[in-house]
Amino acid sequence: MKVGIDSIAFDIPKIYLPIITLAEKRNIEADKLIKGLGLHKMSFLDVHQDVVTLASNAALKLIQQENLNPNEISRIYIGTESGVDSSKPVGSYVLSNLEQIFGARSFKNCDVVDLTFACIGAVDALQNCLDYIRLNPTKKTIVIASDNAKYDLNSSGEYTQGAGSIAMLITANPRILSFSKEVGVATEGVFDFFKPRRNFSKEEIFQTENNPEWNGILENEINIYKEQPVFDGQYSNQCYISRITEAYEHYKEESHQKGKLYEKWSAILMHLPYCFQGRRTFIEIFANENPELVEGQIGENSKEKLKALAKSPEYLNLVNQYILPTEIASGQIGNIYTGSIFLGLLSTLCHHFKNETNLTNTTFGFIAYGSGSKSKVFEAIVEENWKTSIEKVALFETLEQATAIDFSTYEKLHKKELKQSVIAPKNEFHLDKIEKENPVLIGARYYKFVR
């Protein structure tokens, strides 16, 4: 029995900062970001948006697109590393938002949960739901990747920011992709990128030796959560390469395949924290599979030979055919953490649909990564009716309709200084209010759908 993705929908902010604007303000050579990293636009959340609104909008689009009845949906599993609460999952907010449209308790028998493992959480959610459908082939589930990739102003990660959500309907006998049961896995506990709780004593904050009560906090320590991560870019890149090469080899063992696995793939889907990350790191796997090509390169050491191999006709041909289509949307949106690999999938499918490519029965290779760190490698077959589902998704058309913002507006949004949305919400869920007075509802987030 085939199990996989039957349909896809997405939601992204309607505003973006042109990368060239960021480059000018940060005194960075524009070509370093545009030609070097493949970046063009950086999507950014408006005042009324967060990961809940993105996930809710993507889910609603998917349900309406496929004319689904809430009773048909057994699960809504969400991959995110941008949760808005340490206990209440994003999934529960999404469920209650959808019930504004479909009626009270219309999703009362739907199982929801969030899965968090940095940028690989949505892949974990996907595989969990694939296994569920294999055991329950008459059921349908929705997997949502929803994240806000936000970095400190003036940091080395600032130009990789982005936000968005991808929603996927998982069924038996899917129209788009059916997935392999085998999965290659590589894991190691590291601190390449993380979002810690940061503790400060009241003495540090209030300059007092006493322990005054403050906003109901009796403890002497105050915990602060910051959306922006602690990260080591160079080390994280090393971890990325180590995990994906290990997982790639493990998948070959698990699937009992020998030889150059990638040669049978018609697309190489990878986590893209920035647009060109895939092409810059897959070279390691390519080199391992082609030692004779490495030896034939000009260079005094392995590093120089690898760099030369990355510019070789053999590798550039692979990039242009199998990786470039995955990058198109990423360069226009930016990093969306758990959704990046699925944005690459959507970008690939929409690209080939537009170009009338025959993908049926070809194999896609997935190389997922999440900091902390873990990689998973697996495969999927493109199904015969993939075009009937993808023709409903206006990805590139939507990207063209986005509105550019100036640098001042961007910084105010980043610092959360703006009180009014840049573009008023319409036909979407928006964050209506956060409770600040009722003692038993402090911090509760309320959302509304605006027509």
- In this prediction, residue 135 carries a pLDDT of 98
Alpha carbons 363 and 247: distance in angstroms, whole number = 18
Kindly tell me the burial class for residue 297, based on how many C-beta atoms sit within 10 Å of its own C-beta (0-12, 13-18, 19 or more). middle
Alpha carbons 28 and 234: distance in angstroms, whole number = 19
What is the extent of the structural domain holding 217? 197-226
β-bridge partners, 167: 9, 144
Neighbours of 30 (CB within 10 A): 16
Indicate if 188 and 209 belong to the same structural domain.
no
User: How many C-alpha atoms does 400 have within 13 Å on its Cβ side?
Assistant: 4
Tokens at 88, concatenated: 């209440």
Task: Judge whether residue 204 has pLDDT over 90.
Answer: no
Indicate if 213 and 160 belong to the same structural domain.
no
Task: Judge whether residue 205 has pLDDT over 90.
Answer: no
Indicate if 204 and 295 belong to the same structural domain.
no
Q: Mean pLDDT in the chain?
A: 97
Indicate if 82 and 219 belong to the same structural domain.
no
**pLDDT band at 125, cuts 50/70/90?**
very high
Indicate if 124 and 216 belong to the same structural domain.
no
Alpha carbons 79 and 140: distance in angstroms, whole number = 17
The total of structural domains in the chain comes to 2
Do 149 and 130 form a contact (C-beta atoms < 8 A)? no
Indicate if 141 and 252 belong to the same structural domain.
yes
Nearest to 217 by CA among 233, 206, 228, 229: 206
| Residue recorded with tokens 């390449």 | 192
What are 373-395's pLDDT values in tens digits? 999 999 999 999 999 999 999 99
Do 399 and 164 form a contact (C-beta atoms < 8 A)? no
The CATH number for 135's domain is 3.40.47.10
Share of the chain above pLDDT 90, in %: 93
Neighbours of 204 (CB within 10 A): 11
* Chosen domain end from 210, 226, 242: 226
Alpha carbons 325 and 338: distance in angstroms, whole number = 19
What are 277-289's pLDDT values in tens digits? 999 999 999 999 9
Task: Judge whether residue 262 has pLDDT over 90.
Answer: yes
pTM for this prediction: 0.97
